[in-house]
A and B are shown apart, each in its own frame.
Chain A
């Protein structure tokens, strides 16, 4: 029933992408003290030097990734922790992992019907851009790029159908 499936997909895209964007905006505003807004598709391409990933399992199944370049990753950590303690690579990775974790949690908490039935994995952070990524999530793909000061940050949620 391809028609039904496309309706479901379109409905999810229409309804869930703004929820994902709101989840991102809230995490940046509350935890980093800065406002971010989505930019139109195709603008501000993101260089993926850091990728933070959080898995979702249960009622909502898939993977959320947050991607940015090295300079942006450092700025995010600095914003979160203060300039004096965000210098080490470990803290930068840790900060990105936590941001992605909070986005995933905030997103699922906003969805009706996922109450208690969706669990998050501990975050994983990949450094370096020389890799290919293939999720076995075969459902829809919600993607948004946000401008954090002048730095693009990509957030993508790949879901199982």
Chain B
């Protein structure tokens, strides 16, 4: 099995507990992480992207200040952030939310509660790996 290149991940969630759980799930899914940057909402995430380069973004939807859908829409306007895959991880499970997220530019959608296998299934393909 080919070794996966280590990636830089940005995890966006207003809950610090959930950010830790997402990071742990990524590792359990076999994603090798070089660095993990955290943001508490969409506005903080945009500020991170203005300073740092990342390979993958995992983002909640319901957050104060700027929600995840608005973040994905605004991120699409940032030249340096274009092409970075975003996977939503959220309690919002309706088809309407999935369609909105994918239309805004998200590449994957995971509903909470989630297992590491679901993270693997949705994250590895956007990194160009087989799940």
A interface residue numbers (CB < 8 A to B): 26-27, 30-31, 77, 80-81, 85, 90-91, 94-95, 97-98, 101-102, 104-106, 108-109, 114-122
B17 located at the interface, meaning its Cβ lies under 8 Å from any Cβ of chain A in the complex: yes
**Do A97 and B15 touch across chains, with their CB atoms under 8 A apart?**
yes
- Which residues of B come within 8 Å of A, CB atoms? 14-18, 20-21, 62-64, 90-97, 111-115
Contact call A91/B16, Cβ cutoff below 8 A: yes
Q: Are B20's CB and A109's CB within 8 A? A: no
6 extra A-B contacts, CB within 8 A, seeds A31-B21, A106-B91, A117-B94: A30-B115, A31-B113, A80-B17, A98-B15, A116-B97, A120-B92
A-B contacts, 18 listed (Cβ < 8 Å) = A30-B113, A30-B114, A31-B21, A77-B17, A94-B18, A104-B91, A105-B91, A106-B113, A108-B93, A109-B91, A109-B94, A109-B111, A115-B95, A116-B94, A118-B94, A120-B91, A122-B14, A122-B63
Nearest CB of B to A133, in Å: 23
Q: Which residues of B contact A122 (CB under 8 A)?
A: 14, 62-64
Bound Cα distance A106, B112 (Å): 7
Min CB distance B65 to A, Å, is 10
Residues of B within 8 Å of A116, CB to CB, are 94-97
Q: How far is the CB of A21 from chain B (nearest CB, A)?
A: 15
A105 → chain B closest CB, angstroms: 3
User: Within the assembled complex, what's the spacing in Å between the Cα atoms of A91 and B17?
Assistant: 6
Q: Cβ of B16: which chain A residues have Cβ within 8 Å of it? A: 90-91, 94
CB contact under 8 A between A98 and B17, given known A26-B113, A31-B113, A106-B113: yes
Residue of B nearest to A96 (CB): B17
Give the chain A neighbours of B20 by CB distance below 8 A.
81, 85
Q: How far is the CA of A121 from the CA of B64 in the complex (A)?
A: 9
**In the bound complex, do residue B17 and residue A101 qualify as a contact, i.e. CB atoms below 8 Å apart?**
no
Contacts of B94 in A (CB 8 A): 109, 114-118
A116 CA / B62 CA spacing, docked (Å): 13
* Smallest beta-carbon distance A83→chain B, Å: 13
Bound complex: CA of A120 vs CA of B97, how far in Å?
13
Q: Evaluate contact between B17 and A120: CB separation under 8 angstroms.
A: no
B63–A80 touching, CB < 8 Å? no
